[in-house]
Structure 1
Amino acid sequence: MQSQIKHTQSQIKHIHQQLVSKHISCVDLVQQKLDLLKQNSNGSVNALLDTYALELAQAVDAKIAKGENIGLLEGIPFGVKDVFMLQGTYTTASSDFLKQYKSAYTASAIQKLLDAGAIPIVKENCDSFGHGSSNENTIFGAVKNAQDETLVAGGSSGGSAVNVAKDYTVFSIGGDTGGSVRQPAGYNGVYGLKPTYGRISRYGLMAYASSTDCVGPLAKSVEDIRIVLNTISGKDIKDQTTYDSSQIDETTLENASGIKAVGYFKNLLENDAMDPTIKADFMDSLEKLKAKGIQVKALDFLDADTLVSTYYILAMAETASNLSRLDGTNYGNRINAENLIESYAVTRSENFSEESKRRIVGGNQVLSQGFSDEIYLKSLAIRDKISADFEGFFQDVDIVLSPVTPGLPPKVGDSLKDPLAMYLSDAFTVGFSLGQLPTLTVPKGTATGIQITAAKTEDERVLQFAHLLEETL
């Protein structure tokens, strides 16, 4: 029987209808959003793209005035995390190093949105180079939670999540390496997707850890996630890890009848860091699924400490390698000293944040002679085991469910005092990153949402189950 439940309304479709029927002009729509972004007290803005956005909006209004058809995304205002290239705009990565850097080209995912007529209106505050889980590691000041400004927004795509939650943007494009879209989505009560690794091109996204970096949309409905995902997915000759993927049709999302069994990681819920209310709410959500006839299976996974350690060893190694290009020679803020070696040292010491330096030093340590065999290669082996474990799990279950975070959003300032606690807040997100699996934060079920994960390339199944979860919870 077709579900009669009304799902969260698509803002993209609603605004599209308003534009087509001339209830609102595109210029007025964009100006309203820009005004809200100017006034915001959450610290989510690095730069407004006002002149550029209003020019694009005028072109959309001109098309409508001539009676021409416009595409579904045409004229829709969106936000861009400030680690994506957009030609001619400052792309700072919220860092001192690149605060004067202007993009020479446009990232593939952003270009696809431009080609579809969507309008970028803001470069969004984020943790510097994606390093952080609280969005406090930024030269522009901490991003504050959309629901309570005394709390962090989550990182590293905190600005993107807040702008969607506050309706400053219709959707935003973030980057997710170990949970950087999903965790702030959970903290701010919006949907955030980390697609299957390689589904969306990383070309033009500043690399943090290349083997887990993903481009991901944040929005207020499953339908808007689907529309944006379809637009930005696909093979890209500029990114060899990309693959061809088929479009996800809206009608297929209503049919989750093929999903019979869900699994959850029982041992992760028993971790000391687990907030009792999040655990209780999550278990209650599982009971509601059981009542709908869905089989729920407890799975035994690696412990949280192993997952977090493995992820951070590999991520730090990759970021040390990726950021070695930043020495002030070709781009970035150069500081001259007595000689070349000193110039490199001072430039990197002064321009990287404490958290970025922590990760670069850690990465160089695990890659160094005498340590790489013991630490780095061992982590690669654990990563292979994680992938094999997931293959086994998905022979038994169709979906894996988990909380998004073990705890509630911390107060602004607390995470800076305790980096280890910040790393442990990623306990539920990093495993799926290491497995390169599609994972969606749904803002239901617990105070910081529930995470839906499926096997590789099964992004459609994740969205299908999100609809089922909306009906159930």
Structure 2
Amino acid sequence: MDSQILKIHQQLVDKEITCTALVQDKLAQLKQNTHNTVNAMLDTMALDLAAKVDAKIANGETIGLLEGIPFGIKDVYMVQGTLTTASSNLLKNYKAAYTATAIQNLLNAGAIPLVKENCDSFGHGSSSENTIFGAVKNAINPDLVGGGSSGGSAVNVAKNYTVFSIGGDTGGSVRQPAGYNNVYGLKPSYGRISRYGLMAYASSTDCVGPIAQSIEDIRIVLNVMSGKDIKDQTSYASAEISQAQLLNSEGIKTVGYFKNFIESPAIDPKVKADFLQAIEKIKAKGIEVKALDFFESETLVSTYYTLAMAETASNLSRLDGTNYGNRIEGDNLKETYSVTRSENFSEETKRRIVGGNQVLSQGFSDEIYLKGLALRDTISANFEDDFKNVDIILSPVTPNTPPKIGDSLKDPHAMYLSDAYTVGFSLGQLPTLTVPQGTATGLQITAAKHNDELVLKFANFLKDTI
């Protein structure tokens, strides 16, 4: 699909539409939608900003490319003065005191936020069912899950309720729901976009990621959000990616894929057949394809969840109702902490906190947590070796198609395994993009760290190849 941002920008400039009418239409669609994508509407803010854009156009002033473009925000980002709940009971009445850097960059560019979007509570889930606002329903088939944890963001984009949305990706939480709903979803290189103002799940893999209907829209939004931020020491300055850079894919000579992903007994036969067919089409374009060896899916999943649970247990220890949150009084301070956390956290969040505290506890940290850290280093080293031999790694986004709503809640282990093809790239802190082509849940394009441009370039090449 062609760029929605460029199309709407031109319509605004040519006065074919007003920004106020555009925003009103999107707000109406969001309010009427039956996919459970909305946690809170930002009506007043959106309409005020739209009126300012219309005034600039009426006065003959030039507007920026993102000025007046409506977007959605996963409800784990701080936006000053708005409800920021993380889809949790604990923070259901919490209003943010400041705005996340990535969101502020978009506001500075003139983009208009419409909605805080439904998601798995604190990012804990792969289906957007672990939420106090009701399960997010898939954009294509409402009987199926919307994917997680950024399910509301992906569905809003797929249904065209928002032009783009900002999700958060820790182990696949942008890429997997993008695949489930046939849209583009990018996990950039770790640190390319500041995490300041994003509620931390696992700090070493958390990434801010855009979801959109086109590669061009992903590029535009990525450029605006990227950059060094003194409030996030892991962030770094990066060069802007131009439209022209994506048109030349001649530098891409070799593509790799992981044999064990495709030969796994867990992969759906149709997903496997479709992936291999996509590989043949790439070969037909004269690109060399190499089968690579990699860690077994079970190793990747167990390594990721060991570290992610440890980090979330640490990050969520601050949420005890003392400074903010839905405090429930007990007979004493210790009981107050206990009942506040027990009653307000979801079952999945409690499962991850307990698991994280277990692997960090004395007697287990050396055997489990430190081993997980060592494995992550080995996985990263494996990627470095791979990218000496190939330019791009291609993989299915998920081994299976979206489950029915309710199935994931019955089997948490199966939910964790649904992340088998995404978590490895998160551990390597690599740029990875879901494209809605190739298989029922799309394809995943990955490049070496800090090489986000190559990911978008290959995605552009695939548009006319598959």
TM range (shorter): over 0.9
Equivalent positions of 1:141-220 (< 5 A) are 141-220=134-213
Distance 2:262 2:399 in 1: 8
Write the letter of the residue equivalent to 1:268: F
2:229 corresponds, among 230, 236, 244, to 236
1:264 and 1:47 mapped to 2: Cα distance?
41
Residue 70 of structure 1, aligned match among 48, 52, 63: 63
| Correspondences of 1:308-387 after superposition (within 5 Å) | 308-387=301-380
Task: Report Cα offsets for 1:236-288 as digits up to 9, x if no partner.
Answer: 00000001100001001000100000000011222222000001000000000
CA RMSD, 1 decimal:
0.4
Partner of 1:268: 261
In structure 2, how many angstroms separate the alpha carbons of the residues matched to 1:86 and 1:137?
A: 22
CA distance in 2 between partners of 1:411 and 1:267 (Å) = 26
User: What TM-score does the superposition give when structure 1 sets the normalisation length?
Assistant: 0.98
3-state SS, counterpart of residue 388 of structure 2: helix
Match of 1:255 among 225, 234, 248: 248
Which of 224, 238, 241 pairs up with 1:245? Answer: 238
Tell me which of 431, 439, 447 is aligned to 2:440. Answer: 447
Alpha-carbon distance in structure 2 between the residues aligned to 1:162 and 1:32: 17
2:98 counterpart SS class: coil
Amino acid at match of 2:395: S
Give the letter aligned to residue 303 of structure 1. E
Q: Which residue of 2 aligns with 1:3?
A: none
Residues of 2 paired with 1:279 and 1:378: CA distance?
A: 32
Give the Cα–Cα distance (whole angstroms) in 2 for the partners of residues 150 and 221 of structure 1: 26
* CA distance in structure 2 between the partners assigned to 1:28 and 1:43 by the alignment: 24
Secondary structure of 1:355 counterpart: helix
State the Cα deviation string for residues 98-153 of structure 1 (Å, max 9, x = none).
00000000000000000000000000000000000000000000000000000000
Tell me the secondary structure at the aligned position of residue 61 of structure 1: helix
Provide the secondary structure at the position in 2 that maps to 1:472. Answer: coil
Q: Secondary structure at the match of 1:396?
A: coil
Secondary structure of 2:198's partner?
Answer: coil
Tell me what 1:5 maps to. Answer: none
CA distance in 2, matches of 1:273, 1:312: 19
Q: Which runs of 4+ in 1 moved over 3 A?
A: none
CA–CA distance in structure 1, aligned partners of residues 58 and 373 of structure 2: 57
Aligned residue identity for 1:470:
K
C-alpha separation between the residues in 2 aligned to 1:172 and 1:93?
16
1:138 maps onto 2:136 in alignment: no
CA distance in 1: counterparts of 2:204 and 2:368, whole angstroms? 17
* 2:7 equivalent among 4, 10, 14: 14
Q: Deviations over 1:169-188 (max 9, x none)?
A: 00000000000000000000
The Cα of 1:41 is off from its aligned counterpart by 0.5
| Aligned partner of residue 47 in structure 1, secondary structure | strand
2:277 paired with 1:284: yes
Counterpart of 1:351, as a letter, is: N
Residue 117 (1) aligns with residue 110 (2): yes
Distance in 1, Cα, partners of 2:284 & 2:336:
65
Aligned mates of 2:261, 2:109 — CA distance in 1: 42
Residue from 20, 26, 29 that aligns with 1:33: 26
Aligned pairs, number: 466
Once the two structures are TM-superposed, the CA of residue 308 in structure 1 deviates from its matched residue by 0.2
Gaps of 5+ in 2: none
* Alignment equivalent of 1:97, drawn from 90, 93, 102: 90
